[in-house]
Amino acid sequence: KRAEEDSAIQYLQSQYSTINPEEIKTFKDLPLSQKTLKGLKDNNYITPTDIQRQAIGYALQGKDILGAAKTGSGKTLAFLVPILELLFCKKWTRLDGVGALVISPTRELAYQIYETLRKVGHLHDFSAGLIIGGQNLKFERKRMDQINILICTPGRLLQHMDENPLFDCSQLQILVLDEADRCLDMGFQTTMNAIIENLPPKRQTLLFSATQTKSVKDLARLSLSFPTYVAPHEQA
């Protein structure tokens, strides 16, 4: 069983370099694990949207991404699918701690991401956590050390980083900022700086927003180097 899984993973990874967004018609045309493909299919996600078609391949290749596409274009799966695949290929287990962190500017959006993750990720064994405040801090705190994929708002995340001895993201593999322009704007500046300081610099970073964030300062803050721009239907 183990050897089978190892060779499946090796095969998937060997396909990454050959991904051509132009040739992708359905999610099946991407080298994705059976668990993710079935999770997508079970929820009637068959044909990737443009941002998904273009971003997923680069993300699987380990690139940092700046993705811009209008509201409703399917940005959520453009980052959730790579997260599931990355942790799957690394054979992440509950004991490995927080492997992926998704930061969203509002509770409502964070909740929607979490719900989508629960649906498409239902066949994977990872644990997902939603940390958005409005809940008892102690209740959240006890669960923090068992979460693999953490969806959160900036303020609440920083609160845990500051106050919770169980919170550890030293193993973080991938950071996603959803609605990145909003996460990085003035209101969250101090909070985001403090969060980023607490994250290991060696990681993959994906930024998604409805508008393009190209501020060099912002990118430097996130230690993004040579990110790939993905913006369907728009001039980069």
**Interface residues toward Mg ion, by CB under 5 A:** 75
Which has the closest alpha carbon to 87: 123, 114, 112? 123
Show contacts with ligand ADP in window 113-172 (CB under 6 A). Answer: none
176 DSSP assignment: E
Q: How far apart are the first and last CA of the chain?
A: 45
Nearer to Mg ion, 12 or 80 (CB): 80
Say if residue 225 is exposed, middle or buried (CB neighbours under 10 Å; 0-12, 13-18, 19+).
Answer: exposed
Rank residues 198 and 211 by Cβ distance to ligand ADP and give the closer one: 211
Q: Least distance from C-beta 121 to ligand ADP, angstroms?
A: 14
Contact with ligand ADP (CB under 6 A) among 45, 79, 88, 167? 45
CA distance 161 to 150: 13
Measured distance CA(185)–CA(75) in Å, rounded: 19
**Closest distance to ligand ADP from the beta carbon of 53 (Å):** 9
The minimum distance between CB 75 and ligand ADP, in angstroms, equals: 3
Q: Does 57 bind ligand ADP (CB under 6 A)?
A: no
Phi, psi of 208 (to 5 degrees): -125, 140
H or E element that contains 53: helix 50-60
Residue 190 binds which entry of ligand ADP, Mg ion, none, with Cβ cut-offs from 5 to 8 Å by kind? none
Give me the least distance between CB of 48 and ligand ADP, in Å please.
5
Question: Looking at this protein, which amino acid is placed at residue 126?
Answer: F
Q: Which helix (H) or strand (E) holds 137?
A: helix 137-143
Tokens of 57: 């391949």
- 79 interacts with ligand ADP by CB under 6 A: no
In whole angstroms, the minimum distance from the beta carbon of 126 to ligand ADP comes to 19
Residue 48 contacts ligand ADP per CB under 6 A = yes
Residue 61, Cβ neighbours under 10 Å: how many?
15
Place of tokens 């060779």: 7
Stretch that binds ligand ADP, among 41-49, 87-95, 136-144, 185-193 (CB under 6 A): 41-49
Residue 88 binds which of ligand ADP, Mg ion, none (CB < 5-8 A, kind-dependent): none
- Closer residue to ligand ADP (CB): 77 or 110: 77
For ligand ADP, the binding residues (CB under 6 A) are 45, 47-49, 52, 69, 71-77
